[in-house]
Amino acid sequence: MSGRLTVIGLGPGDARYLTREAEDALASAEAVYGYTAYLDRVPARAGQTRHGSDNREEPKRAAAALRHAADGAQVAVVSGGDPGVFAMAAAVCEVIEGGPPAFRAVELAVVPGITAMLAVAAKAGAPLGHDFCAISLSDNLKPWHVIERRLHAAAGAGFVIALYNPASRARPQKLGDAFAVLRETLPGDVAVIFGRAVGRADESLTVTTLDQAGCVTADMATLVIVGSPATRVILRADGTPLVYTPRSLEAVTA
Ligand code: SAH
């Protein structure tokens, strides 16, 4: 008998961001697989086994979870944010596509979560109010020249750009390199937002400009939103910035 595999988004931070659907899916799982840091956010339940692994082991984790479900178990795989955004849902699909027929017989469900880009945008105001895109700066799975080309194209097309995975130990300079590419196309005064650990106790938000963005440090828990020339910053009465991109292009070009 084939079981069920549910790929669950935990949201960006603490339990307030977990959807009711995700909570229910976690409650009915016999086994939970995930990157150890994400598993730690799932409360332990009696009778539920937990299978933590390193975050570079996504295909191995997906295969192990699929094998377990193919054996008849109710299995959950957890991801931070949304599981379909640079995360486990695609890894599971890749392993189903390349795997044995039994993997295609496993009942599969993907439970969405609040992705980091939306959580950071909400803290800043409404920077994603007009057209936007998301680019991962991780060059583990694609070459850097592709990232440069996409940054260039997105900035040239007027998109607001959410940058996931802005920092890594192997390539500490890549966010600076990305800003340099964006400066070739964008004015230096476009708004840039750094959201770190949003939704957690130590969250922080910094609003700056593309010219000054190199002075802000980003780590793996940071998401960066680079505005378009249409993005505006309003100072609120208490001096804090409110960043938004008007919905209408006419409002922008008028
Ligand atoms: N599936 C996740 C993204 C995984 S890629 C999601 O939908 O959010 C990991 C990257 O997501 C991090 O390098 C960072 O850029 C971003 N990220 C994840 N959680 C975050 C948080 N709480 N605050 C800010 N950025 C976060």
Mutate-to-test residue for ligand 1 from 222, 224, 225, 226, highest number of ligand atoms within 8 A of CB = 222
Which protein residue has the closest C-alpha to ligand 1 atom 11?
164
CA 34 – ligand 1 centroid, Å: 15
Non-local (6+) Cβ contacts of 87 within 8 A are 9, 79, 80, 81
Number of residues assigned to the chain: 254
What are the residue ranges in the chain where pLDDT is below 50? 254
The answer to whether the beta carbons of residues 108 and 5 sit under 8 Å apart is yes
- Give residue 223 CA to ligand 1 midpoint distance, Å: 6
Contact (Cβ atoms closer than 8 angstroms) between residue 221 and residue 238 = no
Ligand 1 centre and the CA of 164: distance in Å? 6
Closest CA to 120 of 190, 199, 15: 199
Burial tier of 214 (Cβ tally within 10 Å: 0-12, 13-18, 19+): middle
| Structure-block tokens of residue 194 | 């750094």
Distances (CA, A) of 93 to 9, 110, 140: 15, 11, 19
Q: Rounded to an integer, what distance in angstroms lies between the CA atom of residue 97 and that of residue 196? A: 35
The pLDDT tens digits for 83-101 are 999 999 999 999 999 999 9
Please report the pLDDT score of residue 57 as a whole number: 87
Which atom in ligand 1 lies closest to the alpha carbon of residue 13?
Answer: 22
Instruction: Encode 122-189 in three state secondary structure.
Output: HHHEECCCCCEEEEECCCCCCCHHHHHHHHHHHHHCCCEEEEECCCCCCCCCHHHHHHHHHHCCCCCC
What's the burial of 2, exposed, middle or buried (CB within 10 Å: 0-12/13-18/19+)?
A: middle
| pTM (2 d.p.) | 0.96
- 225 and 120 in contact (C-beta within 8 Å)? yes
Query: What's the gap in Å between 127 CA and the centre of ligand 1?
Result: 17
Residue 248 has phi, psi (to 5 degrees) of -105, 130
Owner of token pair 């299995």: 75
Name the residue of 161, 200, 223 to mutate for ligand 1: max ligand atoms within 8 A of Cβ: 223
**What tokens does 237 get?**
């009465």
Cβ-proximal residues to 176 (8 Å cutoff; 6+ apart), any chain:
214
pLDDT of 254: 46
Ligand 1 centre to CA of 21 (Å) is 20
Binding pocket residue ranges, ligand 1, CB within 6 Å: 12-13, 79-82, 85-87, 115-116, 120, 164-166, 195-200, 220-223
CA distance 209 to 124: 14
